[in-house]
């Protein structure tokens, strides 16, 4: 009878919420030379101890780290949420991102200086369905889409000296 010790390790990720194309650095917390296998949930695998991976499509990806080999292996899982970037160019000192996530559109912003910005969301038929005032210099918000149809939505950001328009595909 041979008794093996269960391998040790920890699954770490530099971020659990990223946008398409953003790199995530993973860590295994293992001793050098340990047998490590990663499954990133998108059909990609690695045997590196600390791989870097970027997702090409939005979605929820269960990342699995297996340390050792069966029957004495350690299996750890972490879910990485990947959203869609708007592709907006940021103005110097400012940032604004909008992406779809399930039944919602998520917003993240950081504006230089003060002032009120207004966000308007138009459905695929061009009707205004949501409006939001952003009075803080930075923050996050969610616009729920429950009951609204799939299609391409238009998000318009209005500020004192800028207007930005973004098209966001909503497919559930």
Please state which architecture CATH assigns to domain 12-83.
Sandwich (2.60)
Cβ atoms of 108 and 140 within 8 Å: the answer is yes
Distance, CA of 56 to CA of 85 (rounded, Å)? 11
How confident is the model over 58-91, as pLDDT tens digits?
A: 889 999 999 987 777 899 999 999 887 655 544 5
Where are the CATH 2.60.40.10 domain residues in the chain?
Answer: 12-83
Give the pLDDT confidence score for residue 6 in this predicted structure.
78
Please say whether the structural domain 95-170 has been given the CATH code 3.40.50.1950: no
Q: What is the pLDDT of residues 99-158, one digit of tens each?
A: 888 888 999 888 876 678 899 999 888 899 999 998 888 889 999 998 888 888 889 888
Question: Residue 99: what pLDDT?
Answer: 86
- CATH 2.60.40.3080 segments of the chain: 95-170
Each residue of 68-82: b (16+ CB within 10 Å) or e?
A: beeeeebeeebebbb
Among the listed ranges 1-10, 20-29, 154-163, which one has the minimum average pLDDT value? 1-10
Place 25 in a pLDDT band, splitting at 50, 70 and 90.
very high
Residue in 172, 117, 163 with CA at minimum distance from that of residue 139? 117
Cα-to-chain-centroid distance, residue 32? 30
> Average pLDDT, stretch 31-51?
94
Q: Residue 103: its pLDDT value, please?
A: 86
């Amino acid at each position: 009878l041979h008794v093996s010790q269960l391998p040790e390790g920890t699954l770490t990720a530099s971020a659990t919420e990223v946008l398409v194309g953003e790199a995530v650095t993973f860590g295994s917390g293992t001793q050098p030379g340990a047998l490590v296998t990663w499954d990133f949930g998108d059909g990609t695998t690695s045997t590196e101890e600390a791989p870097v991976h970027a997702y090409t499509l939005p979605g929820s990806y269960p990342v699995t780290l297996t340390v050792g080999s069966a029957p004495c292996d350690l299996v750890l899982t972490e879910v990485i949420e990947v959203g869609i970037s708007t592709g907006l160019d940021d103005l110097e000192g400012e940032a604004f991102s909008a992406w779809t996530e399930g039944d919602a559109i998520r917003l993240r912003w950081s504006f230089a200086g003060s002032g009120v910005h207004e966000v308007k969301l138009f459905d695929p038929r061009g009707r205004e369905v949501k409006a939001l005032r952003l009075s803080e210099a930075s923050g996050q918000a969610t616009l729920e889409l429950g009951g609204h149809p799939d299609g391409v939505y238009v998000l318009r950001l209005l500020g004192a000296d800028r207007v930005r328009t973004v098209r966001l595909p909503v497919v559930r």
